[in-house]
């Protein structure tokens, strides 16, 4: 069986700005979302690390081993073309993306397969819609 579904947020102490200890990741089950809404999935699963505006400044980013990526500049960093297949692969787990495969953050394809009972079509729909939403966030 796949690992338990995880979603990451900062611990309450980190949110309060206490200096006693560095920020920590608190793991919680990933809640259900609509497979047809890339925006809803982004807010539920990605914004904690990448930020609500996808700038890499989410509340959990301070607790990660490597800085969250600013997702709004993907096209700019790829000669003006949104790297759709690379983003899809990173979300699905086909590509080795350290932050998405570490102990801190799951590969979302595996999480979606667990959520959707291994229904390949539903998983593909989720990843496609999430990828399209991230594409819509690209800086012009």
Q: What is the torsion angle, in degrees rounded to the nearest 10, for the CA atoms of residue 70, residue 50, residue 96 and residue 113?
A: -140
Q: Which two tokens mark 122?
A: 């539903």
pLDDT beyond 90 at 14: no
pLDDT above 90 covers a percentage of the chain that reads 44
pTM of the model: 0.77
What is the distance between the alpha carbons of residues 112 and 123, in angstroms, rounded to a whole number?
A: 6
Contact 93, 107 (CB under 8 A): yes
- Pull the structure tokens for residue 45: 């699963």
CATH of 7-136, picked from 1.10.150, 3.30.460, 1.10.287, 1.10.760, is 1.10.760
How many angstroms from the chain centroid is the CA of residue 113?
A: 15
């Amino acid at each position: 069986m796949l690992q338990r579904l995880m979603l990451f947020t900062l611990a309450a102490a980190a949110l309060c700005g206490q200096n006693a200890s560095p920020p920590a990741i608190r793991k919680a089950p990933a809640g259900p979302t609509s497979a047809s809404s890339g925006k809803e999935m982004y807010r539920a699963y990605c914004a904690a690390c990448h930020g609500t505006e996808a700038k890499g400044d989410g509340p959990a980013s301070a607790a990660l081993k490597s800085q969250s990526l600013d997702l709004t500049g993907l096209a700019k960093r790829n000669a003006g073309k949104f790297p759709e297949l690379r983003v899809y692969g990173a979300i699905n787990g086909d590509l080795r993306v350290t932050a998405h495969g570490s102990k801190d953050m799951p590969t979302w394809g595996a999480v979606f397969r667990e959520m959707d009972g291994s229904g390949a079509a539903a998983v593909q729909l989720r990843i496609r819609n999430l990828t399209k939403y991230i594409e819509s966030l690209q800086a012009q």
